[in-house]
Structures are given as structure tokens and as C-alpha cells.
């Protein structure tokens, strides 16, 4: 979920929750075996090229529980070193920026955990990374561009991947439900350099100081084309 519709008042949110409950039911009833057969038909073998971890397009949505797993794995890192708010969001009438997601932080154009030897947090990487290039949408298996597509994959590995995809779909829907249940709507307004950055997620409404996200305020203000 990247944006809650502007018109979503209490009844709009109720409708979205009902829709998500139906989606959750659908996701829980998905057959991992069927998805696995489809993966085998398409074919996939990771070539360890790192293309999905590098470049401008690399942007990994990460949930609060996943951030905690990475913090535990990479002892010493803070929440904001692991993840930050994306550039997509809306401004309220007091000039605060609101967003609904966390994304893994980057070093330049690349994921900050990418190294020449591969992912530095392999065992703790987010669900989105473990299932790339595949994803489920309304129960349908879809995929992004990837050099590994068409490669040979065994029955066991395709089933493992299918189970992860199903889990990711369920987690994404549950996270969206929790987010909506905690969501506090706001009056839309204009960007301001004096506002705050507010991230709504499945656990809470977090206030992040712009000073903790180098360059972020300037980028968002430029993006809003007001400055």
C-alpha cells in the first residue's frame, strides 16, 4: 500500500479493510504446490549478478518486523541506519510529510547491504529479496525483469520459493490491515521545510527528524516542485 486514498474517511477505510480481509482469505487459500509448478514452468536460477540489489531502480520495501531482524543480525545498527522513509508521500496542512512505508537505506545507488561477495545480510534479508523476481498479485504469479528467469529449478527449490511467495503475500496484506487500523488521517496541505517527517506503519505513527535522513528533506521538497 503506497497511499491511502485522499477520500478515505472512516467509511472509506472500512471498505478498504473489508477488501483486505477478502484478499487475506484468498491468499491463505493459495496452493503453494500450484505456484511451485508455475515457477518450474517459467524457470529460475539466481545468477548472483546483483542486478536486483544495485542501481537507481533498487528500492526494497521493508516491514517493521523485518527491520528488527536486520538490526539483530547487524548488531550496532540503528533503525534509521537500516531503513528510511521513501520519497513518495503527502504533505499535511501544517507542512509535515506523511508516508506509509519504510525502505532499506542505500549507499549511493545501491542497497547498503550489497557487497561484491553478495548480500551481507543474506539470512536476514527481507521477504521481497528472498522471493525476487517473483511476486503474487490477486493470486496470480508475476515476475520482474531478471537474468535468472528461464533457468533450471528443482521441485524442492520451487516449492520453497512458492511457500515464501505465499507467506509474503499474507504478510503484505496483514501489514496493510494493521496499518489501516492504526492510521490517523490528516488534512492535506502544502510542503514546508519546517514540517516533520511522519511514517505510518503497522505498529505505530513514527516521527522521524529530517536531520537523521541526510538530504531527504531537500529531495522531497524538490520533488514536490514547490521549491
Binding interface with ligand SF4 (CB under 6 A): 53, 60, 104, 111, 113-114, 119, 121, 125, 129
Q: Contact at 8 Å (CB) between 134 and 153?
A: no
Whichever of 129 and 199 has its CB closer to ligand SF4, that residue is 129
Q: Residue 187 Cβ, how far from ligand SF4 at the closest point, in Å? A: 36
Task: Give the count of beta carbons closer than 10 Å to the beta carbon of residue 44.
Answer: 21
Whichever of 97 and 114 has its CB closer to ligand SF4, that residue is 114
Cell numbers 543474506: residue:
122
In angstroms, the CA 121 to CA 123 distance is: 6
Cell numbers 477505510: residue:
13
Q: Residue 65 Cβ, how far from ligand SF4 at the closest point, in Å? A: 15
Q: Residue 33 Cβ, how far from ligand SF4 at the closest point, in Å? A: 26
How far is C-alpha 79 from the geometric centre of its chain's CA atoms?
15
Q: Contact at 8 Å (CB) between 85 and 197?
A: yes
Query: What is the pairing mode between strands 97-99 and 197-200?
Result: parallel
The DSSP annotation for 193-207 comes to TTS-EEEE-SS-EEE
Q: Residue 128 Cβ, how far from ligand SF4 at the closest point, in Å? A: 7
Whichever of 148 and 195 has its CB closer to ligand SF4, that residue is 148
Q: Contact at 8 Å (CB) between 199 and 99?
A: yes
Q: Residue 169 Cβ, how far from ligand SF4 at the closest point, in Å? A: 18
Whichever of 37 and 68 has its CB closer to ligand SF4, that residue is 68
Whichever of 125 and 200 has its CB closer to ligand SF4, that residue is 125
Amino acid at each position: 500500500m503506497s497511499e491511502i486514498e485522499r477520500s478515505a474517511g472512516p467509511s472509506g477505510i472500512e471498505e478498504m479493510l473489508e477488501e483486505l480481509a477478502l484478499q487475506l482469505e484468498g491468499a491463505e487459500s493459495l496452493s503453494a504446490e500450484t505456484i511451485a509448478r508455475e515457477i518450474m514452468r517459467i524457470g529460475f536460477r539466481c545468477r548472483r549478478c546483483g542486478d536486483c540489489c544495485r542501481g537507481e531502480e533498487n528500492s526494497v520495501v521493508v516491514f517493521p518486523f523485518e527491520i528488527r531482524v536486520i538490526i539483530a543480525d547487524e548488531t550496532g545498527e540503528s533503525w534509521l541506519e537500516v531503513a528510511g522513509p521513501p520519497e513518495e508521500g503527502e504533505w499535511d496542512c501544517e507542512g509535515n510529510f506523511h508516508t506509509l512505508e519504510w525502505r532499506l537505506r542505500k549507499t549511493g545507488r545501491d542497497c547498503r547491504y550489497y557487497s561484491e561477495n553478495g548480500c551481507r545480510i543474506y539470512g536476514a534479508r527481507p521477504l521481497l529479496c528472498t522471493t525476487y523476481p517473483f511476486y503474487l498479485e490477486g493470486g496470480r504469479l508475476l515476475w520482474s525483469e531478471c537474468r535468472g528467469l528461464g533457468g533450471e529449478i528443482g521441485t524442492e527449490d520451487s516449492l520453497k520459493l512458492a511457500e515464501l511467495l505465499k507467506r509474503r503475500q499474507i504478510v503484505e496484506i496483514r501489514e496493510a490491515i494493521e496499518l489501516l487500523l492504526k492510521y490517523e488521517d490528516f488534512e492535506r496541505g502544502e510542503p514546508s521545510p519546517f514540517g516533520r517527517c511522519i511514517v505510518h506503519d503497522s505498529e505505530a505513527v513514527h516521527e522521524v527528524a529530517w536531520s537523521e535522513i541526510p538530504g531527504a528533506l531537500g529531495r522531497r521538497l524538490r520533488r514536490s516542485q514547490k521549491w
